[in-house]
Amino acid sequence: EIQGIFEECELILNAEGIQCITPVSNSTMKWQIVKDIVHHDHYFFIRLCTGRAFVINCRTYSGDVPVSDIPQVVNSYLTHSRSQ
């Protein structure tokens, strides 16, 4: 049995990276380690170069950015970070 792989967190996308806030931690993944964003069924996978991914469930998502705009926002930050 595999436990502890999935952990619920609040994701905040900003120019610095993806901030992941949990009840016990607050960390930021820089855009340089983000590989891409993939949409499959009702999920977005923000894949990292480390083999990990942030999973966003489109059905339960709540946030300031409309769920349909998430790929555009991620790709905009990725493009900007890679041009520097």
The 10s digit of each residue's pLDDT in 58-76 is 999 998 999 999 999 999 9
37 Rama class: left (phi>0) / alpha (psi -120 to 50) / beta: beta
User: What is the pLDDT at residue 5?
Assistant: 65
**Side chain identity at residue 56, one-letter code:** I
Average pLDDT for consecutive 10-residue bins of the chain (84 residues)?
69 94 92 96 95 93 93 96 88
**Rounded to whole angstroms, how far apart are CA atoms 76 and 12?**
15
pLDDT score for 3? 53
Q: What is the pLDDT of residue 43?
A: 96
Q: Is 64 strand, coil or helix?
A: coil
